[in-house]
């Protein structure tokens, strides 16, 4: 049985294409509270092993119907919008999700951890991260006509390999990776909107981005099953 959730004291809609965890971090920042406080208020686990290991939270990969319903009730965001903010929308054609574990099959199609990013998009949106930036085949921003960045220029770490530290208040648009050579628990906090990127030439800029092409396709379950079977043989 689902538990009724109190409405959040403030409501900010997600931006188009935003990842679910990015939006929750944005809410925590606006509420000036720890990330765990927002998770708890929405009925999401705060002690999930995936919050401490280099992997996505399960609800960011494939949120359950109960989780989606609880978030929708507290935030006022439609359930179908919330579901599209997870990797579920790419299952079967850009990633293969193991539904019982709610994990991405790393040997098939995935190929990377963390997230690439467009610094200009982060600047425009106030630090909101696109879910499509997580895809291994997503490497350009056709809006700003640049190659996506894949590391923080200050700490040289790939962003968003881990979930945001649950005991800290998020700072959208800033690197949440460990501070290089800093005290234990310290964060880099470099402004990622300042990251230099490579501009696309006119021919490359006219091509559709890989993520937009992938997300427009119908999931191919036969292909995904074949890939999973082959991966299991290796």
Q: How far is CA 147 from the centre of its chain?
A: 18
What mean pLDDT is reported for the chain? 84
CB atoms inside a 10 Å sphere around CB 175: 22
Instruction: Say if residues 120 and 173 touch (Cβ distance below 8 Å).
Output: no
Lowest mean per-residue pLDDT among 85-99, 107-121, 213-227: 213-227
Q: pLDDT tens digit string along 107-133?
A: 665 657 899 999 999 999 999 999 999
- The pLDDT-based confidence of 100 (bands split at 50, 70, 90) is confident
Q: Compute how many other C-beta atoms are within 10 angstroms of the C-beta atom of residue 107.
A: 14
> DSSP state, 84?
T
Query: How crowded is residue 224: how many other Cβ atoms within 10 Å of its Cβ?
Result: 20
């Amino acid at each position: 049985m689902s538990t009724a959730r109190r409405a959040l004291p403030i409501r900010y809609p997600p931006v188009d294409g935003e990842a679910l965890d990015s939006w929750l971090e944005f809410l925590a920042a606006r509420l000036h509270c720890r990330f765990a406080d927002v998770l708890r208020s929405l009925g999401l686990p705060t002690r999930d092993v995936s919050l401490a290991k280099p992997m996505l939270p399960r609800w960011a990969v494939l949120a359950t119907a109960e989780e989606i319903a609880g978030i929708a009730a507290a935030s006022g965001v439609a359930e179908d919008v919330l579901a599209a903010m997870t990797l579920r929308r790419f299952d079967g054609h850009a990633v293969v999700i193991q539904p019982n574990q709610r994990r991405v099959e790393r040997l098939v199609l995935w190929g990377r951890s963390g997230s690439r990013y467009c610094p200009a998009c982060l600047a425009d949106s106030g630090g909101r991260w696109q879910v499509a930036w997580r895809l291994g085949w997503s490497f350009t921003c056709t809006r700003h006509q640049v190659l996506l960045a894949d590391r923080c220029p200050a700490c040289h770490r790939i962003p968003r390999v881990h979930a945001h530290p649950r005991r800290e208040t998020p700072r959208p648009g800033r690197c949440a990776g460990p501070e290089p050579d800093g005290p234990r628990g310290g964060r880099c906090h470099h402004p990622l909107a300042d990251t230099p990127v490579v501009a696309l030439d006119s021919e490359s800029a006219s091509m559709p981005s890989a993520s937009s092409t992938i997300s427009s396709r119908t999931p191919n379950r036969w292909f995904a099953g074949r890939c999973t079977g082959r991966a299991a043989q290796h």
